């Protein structure tokens, strides 16, 4: 009955009421790493999926080629150009093509940005001319290729720009002239709209070392055991003669420390697993380490903010639908 379902739903939500917290561990121009605590794995995975599929950016969606005498055909070039990341910090000011009221859906300055590219190898040098993303000229100064943005920043600092994203190489006498139209979209439509090159999370490790077992190892064996960890999680304190957990967040659950303990057990030949069990590695409940690497289209913090807003909108929409179906219960109040 409706009352039974309402009671079950209300009880489930009451048990799941949490107050998630975020602690930023590292923030650079191209990535962010943070610890998400006091939440469920389903929420963490929902955030990951929203970042990959529902955070809007701008990407080139249509290419009109007027002249192409390169070795590549038009479709191949159009595909390569579509994957070039564009600066999308103002993406919220643009409309989706299907929401815009421009005539015939041909595109306007509210839903699209035009780019032009003209390149020709006219020199006497037989070396190939590289056509890169920097050759794409935007008709909107606020929307340009990420490569153009990086090049401008390097020029301000008096530094040489890094090598560009090569679209095609022109031989002597070859020419390429085209128009590209960038539109707003999300990753679930096509990967070119995804704002991140990598989004992943892992559990927060909970590590403890049995000092009683450590005391039975020689100093050299303790150093060997500590050095077995490729992530340098542990540290041997020569003063206290104990093994300390120095960098727990660097643990990748590779179990190399456990394998080294097994090796010590095998050498002693007692048939015990004393040194194998010298370290205990568990997961902290409801804690996750997130790392998001940006394509450059959006700042890492903007990616997280946009994803959280999208996730919140979905939850509120679900809440309204539940209220419509079960009007006698309180959902998230």
Q: For residue range 233-260, list pLDDT tens digits in order.
A: 999 999 999 999 999 989 999 999 999 9
The token pair that represents 307 in the structure block: 């994803």
pLDDT (mean) for 275-301: 93
Tell me which H or E stretch contains 235: strand 234-237
- Give the per-residue pLDDT at 6: 40
Strand, coil or helix: what is 140? coil
Backbone φ and ψ for 212, nearest 5 degrees, come out as -65, -35
Is pLDDT at 55 greater than 80 in this prediction? yes
Average model confidence (pLDDT) across the chain: 88
With bands split at pLDDT 50, 70 and 90, how would you rate the model's confidence at 8?
Answer: very low
When pLDDT is cut at 50, 70 and 90, the band that residue 182 belongs to is very high
Give yes or no for residue 44 having a pLDDT over 70. yes
**Strands in 69-225 per DSSP E:** 112-120, 129-132, 137-138, 166-170, 175-185, 196-209
- Please report the pLDDT score of residue 327 as a whole number: 73
How far is the C-alpha of 134 from the C-alpha of 124, rounded, in Å?
23
Per the model's pLDDT, the better-predicted residue between 1 and 301 turns out to be 301
Output the CA–CA distances (angstroms, integers) from residue 14 to 97, 263, 268, 326, 328, in the order listed: 41, 49, 54, 16, 16
| Percent of the chain's residues with pLDDT above 90 | 66
pLDDT at site 163 = 84
**What angle is formed at CA 146 by the lines to CA 136 and CA 185, rounded to 5 degrees?**
90
Strand partners for 209: 279
Where does the pLDDT of residue 18 fall: very low under 50, low under 70, confident under 90, or very high at 90 and above? low
Q: Calculate mean pLDDT across residues 16-36.
A: 85
Using one digit for the tens of pLDDT, what is the confidence trace for 64-94?
Answer: 999 999 999 999 999 999 999 999 999 999 9
Write the DSSP string, 54-99: S--EEEEEEEEEEEE-SSS-HHHHHHHHHTS-B--TTGGGSPPGGG
Residue 127: what pLDDT?
A: 86
CA distance 159 to 289: 34
* Tens digit of each residue's pLDDT (9 = 90 or more) over 131-180: 999 999 999 999 999 999 988 888 888 888 888 899 999 998 899 999 99
Query: Is the separation of the CB atoms in 264 and 229 below 8 Å?
Result: no
Under DSSP, is residue 327 helix (H, G, I), strand (E, B) or coil? coil
More confident residue, 320 or 236: 236
């Amino acid at each position: 009955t409706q009352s039974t379902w309402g009671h079950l739903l209300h009880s489930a939500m009451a048990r799941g009421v949490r107050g998630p917290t975020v602690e930023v561990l590292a923030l650079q121009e191209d990535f962010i790493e943070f610890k998400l605590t006091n939440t469920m794995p389903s929420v963490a995975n929902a955030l990951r999926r929203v970042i990959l599929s529902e955070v809007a950016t701008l990407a080139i969606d249509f290419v009109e080629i007027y002249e192409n005498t390169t070795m590549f055909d038009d479709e191949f070039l159009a595909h390569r150009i579509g994957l070039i990341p564009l600066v999308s910090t103002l993406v919220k000011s643009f409309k989706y093509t299907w929401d815009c009221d421009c005539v015939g859906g041909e595109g306007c300055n509210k839903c699209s940005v035009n780019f032009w590219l003209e390149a020709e190898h006219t020199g006497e040098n037989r070396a190939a001319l590289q056509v890169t993303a920097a050759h794409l000229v935007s008709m909107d100064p606020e929307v340009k290729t990420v490569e153009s943005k990086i090049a401008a920043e390097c020029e301000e600092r008096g530094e040489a720009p890094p090598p560009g994203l090569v679209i095609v190489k022109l031989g002597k006498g070859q020419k390429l002239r085209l128009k590209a139209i960038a539109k707003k979209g999300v990753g679930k439509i096509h990967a070119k709209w995804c704002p991140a090159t990598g989004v992943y999370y892992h559990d927060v490790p909970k590590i403890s070392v049995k000092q009683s077992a450590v005391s039975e190892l020689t100093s050299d064996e303790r150093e060997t055991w500590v050095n077995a960890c490729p992530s340098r999680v542990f540290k041997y304190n020569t003063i206290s003669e104990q093994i300390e957990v120095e960098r727990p967040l660097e643990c990748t659950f590779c179990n190399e420390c456990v394998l080294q303990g097994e090796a010590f057990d095998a050498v002693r030949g007692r048939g015990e697993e004393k040194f194998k069990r010298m370290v205990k590695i568990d997961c902290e409940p409801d804690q996750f380490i997130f790392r998001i690497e940006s394509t450059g289209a959006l700042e890492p913090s903007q990616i997280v903010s946009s994803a959280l807003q999208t996730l919140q909108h979905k939850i509120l929409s679900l809440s309204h639908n539940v209220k419509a179906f079960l009007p006698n219960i309180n959902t998230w109040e």
